[in-house]
Amino acid sequence: MPQVIDKVRRIIVIDDNEAIHEDFRKILSSNAESEQLNDDEAFLFGEVEKAESHENQTYELDSAMQGQDGLELVRQAVAEGRPYGVAFVDMRMPPGWDGVKTIEHLWQVDPELQVVICTAYSDYSWKETIDRLGLSDQLLILKKPFDVAEVAQLAAALTRKREMQRQLKGRVDQLEEAARHRYAPQERR
């Protein structure tokens, strides 16, 4: 039986600036923002068909002010079997861990977590970041100040990607179990 896709997609924002958390809430939790995006699209491109609009998307958004607090929320989510799809992580969060160290710890707990580094400036070059974290399709950068449409697009695409990965893993596990059962040595009588 195919899995039902959960329309609630979990996101965690890890940033030491409360205003950034509010920005994410406004962008990802508000139908008013979706209406503004639709109005902007209509103005720029004329009337457009609404396939899966932002209005149909629901996010469960959690916040942490420091990397250590974010790590605990990610641990808890994994333990509950409800992992986050995406973590938006600030690069500078004094006095605690920086973004790179936070991401290293997050991926130890949840190696499949999609991560977006949110930064206006960084203490690391891209090469240094890749040297520490590795080159991965699970890591993107979003420059501050960020654009509303970019945040909405990243949230939608990356949470959907995570859902599809989970579904694929579940299906592979089912197939492996069926193969083990089918081809297991039969007991002799």
The alpha carbons of the chain give a radius of gyration, in whole angstroms, of 20
Nearest Cα to Cα of residue 11 among 81, 85, 80: 85
Q: What is the pLDDT of residue 50?
A: 42
Q: Indicate if the pLDDT at residue 14 is higher than 70.
A: yes
CA dist 151 and 40 (Å) reads 15
- Longest Cα separation, the chain: 76
Give per-residue pLDDT as tens, 83-137. Answer: 999 999 999 998 999 999 999 999 999 999 999 999 887 777 888 888 889 888 8
CA dist 47 and 38 (Å) reads 9
Q: Indicate if the pLDDT at residue 33 is higher than 70.
A: no
CA dist 154 and 45 (Å) reads 21
CA dist 88 and 21 (Å) reads 10
In degrees and rounded to multiples of 5, residue 95 shows phi and psi of: -95, 5
CA dist 140 and 126 (Å) reads 11
Nearest Cα to Cα of residue 152 among 62, 70, 65, 56: 56
Q: Which residue has the higher pLDDT, 114 or 166?
A: 114
Q: Indicate if the pLDDT at residue 38 is higher than 70.
A: no
SS3 at position 66: coil
**Percentage of the chain with pLDDT > 70?**
78
Across 71-88, average pLDDT: 96
